[in-house]
Each structure stands twice: as C-alpha cells, then as structure tokens.
Amino acid sequence: MTDRSLLILPGDGIGPEVMAEVRKVIDWFGTRGITFDVSEDLVGGCAYDAHGTPLTDATMAKAQEVDAVLLGAVGGPKYDKLDFSVKPERGLLRLRKEMDLYANLRPAQCFDALADFSSLKKDVVAGLDIMIIRELTSGVYFGEPRGIIREGNERVGINTQRYTESEIARVARSAFEMARKRNNKVCSMEKANVMESGILWRDVVQEIHDAEYPDVELSHMYADAGAMQLTRWPKQFDVIVTDNLFGDLLSDLAAMLTGSLGMLPSASLGAPMENGRPKALYEPVHGSAPDIAGQGKANPIACILSFAMALRYSFDLGAEAERLEHAVNAVLADGVRTADLMGPEGGTPVSTAAMGDAIVAKL
C-alpha cells in the first residue's frame, strides 16, 4: 500500500502516447519502493465520445480525491464544431476551476543541448531559466456575465474580466514564495494603464510585497512591454506573475523562446488538502498535436518532466525529481532525439517509446 495517489488523464491526440512513457517512469520508481496508487480516466474529446461530456462528474470527483492529477492533452479538429459547452477544453477548465488550482507554474527553461532550436539567437536564450506564475481560476476565463447576446439586429459577444483582492493576493504569494527559492525577483505584468482590474492587480501585488515579502525584489511592467522584453532579453526575468489571459499568451511566448516546446512541463496548484499536499494537476505545455498522433513521433519529455514536478510539489520528493530531470538531460546529452528535436543537419529520430526507454535506462 502507498499513500500517494495519482489520477492519470491521458486525453486526446498524443496524450495517450506520451503518458505511456510516464507510466514506465512511475513503474521504475515503484521498483525502488516509491510507489503510487494510479488510476486512469477520460478527459476531453475522448470523454465526450464515450459520455457526451468532456469530463464526467465521476471523474471530477476522483480528481478531487487524489493527491495529483496528471493530464496529457485535450482537443483536436474532430471536436472543433462541438458546442462551446462540451468542447474538450471545457473538461480541462472545469478541473482547474473546481479544484481551485489558482497558481499555474510554467517554467521556461532552455536546455543546453537544444539552444540551437530556438528561433532566437543562442546568446539570448542559452541558460534561460524563468518561471511564469499564471493565475488560473479567475479573470476573463470565468468571469460573468459572458455569452453572445442579441442587441437590436446584431449579436454582441461579452466576457468579463474580474479579479478579487484575495484572488490576486494568493497568487502573488505563490510568486513571492517561488522567488525566494530562486533569484528573489518578481515582475508582475498587467495593463494598469488601461484596465482597472490591472490597477487593482498592481496595487494588491505591491501591498502583499510590502507587508509580507519586502525582501523580494518586485517590479511592475505593462503586459505589452512584457511581451517585448521577453522577446528582447528574457534573461532579465526570474519569476513573472500575471493574470489568466495575459499568462496564457506570455507563458506560451516564453515557452517558444526556449525552442523546446516538447520539453516543457507545467504544474497547477491549489490550496493544501487535509494531508498537507496541495491540490494539483500536472500537464505538458504542448497540446494534443493531432497531426502526429498515433505515429510514435511525439516527444514524451514534457509529460515526463511534468511528473517530475509532481514528485517535487505534491510528494515532497525533490531529490527524486532532480534524479529524473538529470536522466532527461543525460539522454539529451547523448544525442537521443525525437523527431521534433531534429536539427537541419538531420540524423535518425527515435520513437516516443524509445525516448521513454532511454530515460528509464538512465535512471
């Protein structure tokens, strides 16, 4: 028996393939006495196909009970025409909202062996290591009123950006705590020059800083300037904290800077549960990549590194997380590459499964 429970939701597209490799890693840890109670279920398009909804209540309830959810990816062109309310994404958004996973940790790291893959110059991105903390349960993603209404003889599309003081405060704390474990610098991004919700964001982040984290260096930047500065010289940043929508764009931008989209994990954390562990969902940054699904071409590293984040943040197994991260680095240093990591000079890519095997062998 183990007291570590995991719910695996492989989802759509390449989700099941990359998750199969994570399973190998989990099994390897099991042979070393670090065991997990693993269950598996459906989310996204495959859940819609089976049950007519991208996330059943039963799966939602399970997600609430486990220590950590590990998700592959959701979505695909097959589901593009579905009604908004049952689109694959709604399953993911429901998980985030009902588990109240307010802090989305999106590390953007440039792997030495892969610095050449970036569209940016090598000196701009080599050694890059920033952490974007994106608010994940509020803002325009969930604000009411929302919808498409009729006004006179035309349609009007409406969404509401809404942030409460406490919603801002808690994610600000996550960012300051994170900064203390890193280089002690936080940059908060909003559009306080245009949006009142941005003014409140800036004020609350500053207040939390002054009252609780005066030791951390805090700066503020407009989100458009943030997009520019991330592109110009990303190494100026350590931790960035921003809202749900800006975070969506800026974290994807930061991910692309590294040139290693198939490598980047994420963690979405909520408040501590009774056992002290935070509510948590881990997922790779890449999407479901329907164009290569089922072909054994996908890179499982982002999903495997998401499991490493689970080891660190859910199970307090920092040393084991590092061990796994080192194994990934070692495999890359050996020149093992999936198709997405092939440079113009060519070479023979390995399959998804072979990459997983290589990482387990390094462990």
Ligand X SMILES: CC(C)[C@H](C(=O)O)[C@@H](O)C(=O)O
Applying CB under 6 A, the residues found at the interface with ligand X are 89, 92-93, 193-194, 224, 248
Give which of ligand X, a second copy, none residue 307 binds (C-beta under 5 to 8 Å, depending on kind).
none
Q: Could you say which residues in the range 236-255 bind a second copy, by CB under 8 A? A: 245-246, 248-250, 252-253, 255
Q: Could you say which of 31, 33, 148, 274 contacts a second copy (CB under 8 A)?
A: 148
Residues 47, 292, 14, 119: is their CA dihedral positive or negative? negative
Give which of a second copy, ligand X, none residue 361 binds (C-beta under 5 to 8 Å, depending on kind).
none
Region of residue 352 (left: phi > 0; alpha: psi -120 to 50; beta: else): alpha
134 assigned binding-site residue: yes
Q: Do residues 339 and 349 lie in contact, with contact meaning Cβ atoms separated by under 8 Å?
A: yes
206 assigned binding-site residue: no
Residues that bind a second copy (rule: CB under 8 A) add up to a total of: 59
Q: Which amino acid is at 183?
A: N
Give which of ligand X, a second copy, none residue 113 binds (C-beta under 5 to 8 Å, depending on kind).
none
Give which of a second copy, ligand X, none residue 61 binds (C-beta under 5 to 8 Å, depending on kind).
none
36 assigned binding-site residue: no
What residues act catalytically?
141, 191, 224, 248, 252
Tokens of 32: 């070393």
340 assigned binding-site residue: no
Peptide bond into 145 cis (omega under 30): yes
151 interacts with a second copy by CB under 8 A: yes
Say how far residue 123 (Cα) sits from the centre of its chain.
26
* Cβ atoms < 10 Å from Cβ of 275: 8
Nearest of 238, 236, 210, 214 to residue 225 by alpha carbon: 236
Integer Cα distance of 354 and 137 in angstroms: 37
Residues in the annotated binding site for substrate: 96, 106, 134, 224
Residues in the annotated binding site: 76-89, 96, 106, 134, 224, 248, 252, 287-299
